[in-house]
């Protein structure tokens, strides 16, 4: 299998027309022309991401500074670990998209969406800074937790290792597997942390943080849609790449991710957070894995029900519990997601 080169950013000799355009392996001229797009899902996604624009400083965090002082030791430990791990993943993804993914994608409208996603990942990093500064005078304590907590470092090392293994000499299979790796990151690795933050919010604590996570999760859903549509478009263009061997590798990737994320969820909660047991956390991650697999044309592996549907209610911008979260955030529901649009 031959190696894939990065696309040329300016290619005036290109004769590629819109019907010849490919998710990767194409020959674009380098121009981003939103009036001539092959992938309609990408233009819809761009509009959705643009409508979802938000700014971390607009989320009211003054109540969290008070709440944090009165969290139980278990709650405080969970909050700190979740925040530290989310900081790592969005930092990693900001660079990963620009360095390892976008250079090989040859559809300009998808390049634009990936650039927008990279900005949003950096915006999440800004939001974590706002959260850290609101609850601690010693910001390095949370930013440096990965250096001192073995479990946190283990998870970070594993996720970074997956991306590292998919770099180097790039082949068709590596690009497709990288798409799946990003689907896993956006669709699984954030979710124990998100649910933990919502558990605090459900108890009336750290409401500003819960609101911030709500905005972040809405962004992550668009990022998940990005890679699921990218996978499905690639499957249509290059069905020969989607072999039984590839499916086996993808299922191994998901299986490992479920084990890692369930273990992480159990570690951060330690059976001391109301509404969360190790079994519930694992079932939640298994449920999400099945949803992600089915979205890209594979059969589910776990066949379990959603064990904590209230989490989806708190994550939604469409429900009527508008008083649950405090803050002076304007009406961002204009960007609410409808999966049927994609």
Contacts of 74 (CB under 8 A, 6+ apart): 269, 270, 272, 273
Is 37 within 8 Å of 217 (Cβ atoms)? no
Phi, psi (deg, nearest 5) at residue 296: -115, 25
| d(C-alpha 137, C-alpha 134), whole Å | 8
pLDDT (tens digit, 9 = 90+) per residue, 63-85? 999 999 999 999 999 999 999 99
Confidence of residue 301 (pLDDT cuts 50, 70, 90): very high
Give me 198's structure tokens. 């919502």
- The reported pLDDT for the residue numbered 321 is 34
Query: Nearest CA to 337 among 241, 242, 215?
Result: 215
* Structural tokens at position 170: 């790039």
Backbone angles phi, psi at 254, to 5 degrees: -65, -45
Q: Look at the chain and count its residues.
A: 342
Q: What is the pLDDT of residues 228-237, one digit of tens each?
A: 999 999 999 9
Q: What is the largest CA-CA distance in the chain?
A: 64
Cα 163 to Cα 93: distance, rounded to the nearest angstrom: 10
Residue pLDDT, tens place only, 182-224: 999 999 999 999 999 999 999 999 999 999 999 999 999 999 9
The CA distance from 236 to 297, in Å, is 11
Task: Provide the β-strand partners of residue 105.
Answer: 24
Superfamily, domain 38-52+60-319:
Ribonucleotide Reductase, subunit A (1.10.620.20)
125 — pLDDT class (breaks 50, 70, 90) = very high
Query: If pLDDT is split at 50, 70 and 90, which confidence band does 335 have?
Result: very low
CA angle in degrees (0–180, nearest 5) for 3-181-209 = 140
- 55 vs 339, which has greater pLDDT? 55
Confidence grade of residue 1 (pLDDT, cut at 50, 70, 90):
low
**What are the backbone dihedrals phi and psi of residue 36, each rounded to the nearest 5 degrees, phi first?**
-135, 85
Q: Residues 79, 128, 163, 287: which is the catalytic one?
A: 128
Segments in 144-206 forming alpha helices (H): 145-148, 150-165, 172-184, 191-202
Contact 59, 327 (CB under 8 A): yes
Task: Give the tens place of pLDDT for each residue, 88-103.
Answer: 999 999 999 999 999 9
pLDDT confidence bin for 329, thresholds 50/70/90: very low
d(CA 234, CA 227): 10
- Cα–Cα distance for residue pair 231/252, rounded to 1 Å: 17
Mean pLDDT calculated for residue range 246-265 = 96
Candidates 32, 181, 186; CA nearest to 117 is: 186
Determine the average pLDDT of the residues in 25-48. Answer: 95
Nearest of 202, 207, 231 to residue 342 by alpha carbon: 231
Query: How many whole angstroms separate alpha carbon 23 and alpha carbon 167?
Result: 18
Q: Which one is predicted more confidently, 177 or 164?
A: 177
Residue 275 confidence (pLDDT): 83
104-124 residue pLDDT tens: 999 999 999 999 999 999 999
Q: What's the count of helices (H) and strands (E) in the chain, helices before strands?
A: 13, 0
Please say if 119 is a catalytic residue.
no
């Amino acid at each position: 299998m031959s190696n894939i080169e990065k696309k040329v950013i300016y290619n005036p000799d290109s004769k590629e027309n819109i019907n010849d355009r490919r998710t990767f392996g194409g020959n674009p001229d380098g121009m981003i022309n939103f009036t001539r797009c092959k992938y309609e899902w990408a233009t819809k996604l761009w509009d959705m991401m643009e409508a979802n624009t938000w700014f971390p400083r607009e989320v009211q965090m003054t109540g969290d500074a008070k709440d944090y002082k009165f969290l139980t030791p278990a709650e405080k430990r969970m909050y700190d670990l979740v925040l530290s791990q989310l900081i790592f993943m969005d930092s990693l993804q900001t660079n990963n998209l620009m360095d390892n993914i976008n250079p090989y994608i040859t559809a300009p409208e998808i390049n634009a969406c990936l650039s927008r996603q990279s900005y949003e990942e950096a915006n999440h990093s800004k939001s974590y800074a706002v959260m850290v500064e609101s609850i601690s005078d010693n910001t390095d304590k949370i930013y440096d937790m990965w250096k001192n907590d073995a479990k946190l470092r283990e998870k970070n090392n594993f996720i970074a290792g997956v991306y590292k293994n998919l770099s180097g000499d790039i082949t068709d299979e590596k690009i497709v597997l990288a798409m799946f790796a990003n689907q896993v990151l956006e669709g699984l690795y954030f979710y124990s942390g998100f649910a933990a933050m919502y558990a605090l919010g459900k108890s009336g604590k750290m409401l500003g943080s819960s609101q911030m996570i709500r905005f972040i999760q809405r962004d992550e859903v668009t990022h998940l849609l990005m890679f699921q549509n990218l996978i499905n478009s690639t499957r249509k263009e290059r069905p020969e790449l989607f072999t039984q061997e590839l499916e086996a590798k993808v299922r191994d990737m998901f299986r490992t991710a479920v084990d890692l994320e369930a273990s992480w969820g159990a570690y951060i909660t330690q059976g001391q957070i109301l509404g969360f047991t190790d079994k519930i956390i694992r079932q939640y991650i298994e449920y999400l894995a099945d949803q992600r697999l089915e979205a890209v044309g594979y059969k589910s592996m776990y066949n379990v029900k959603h064990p904590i549907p209230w989490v989806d209610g708190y994550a939604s911008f469409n429900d009527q519990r508008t008083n649950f979260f405090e803050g002076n955030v304007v009406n961002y529901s204009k960007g609410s997601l409808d999966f049927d649009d994609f």
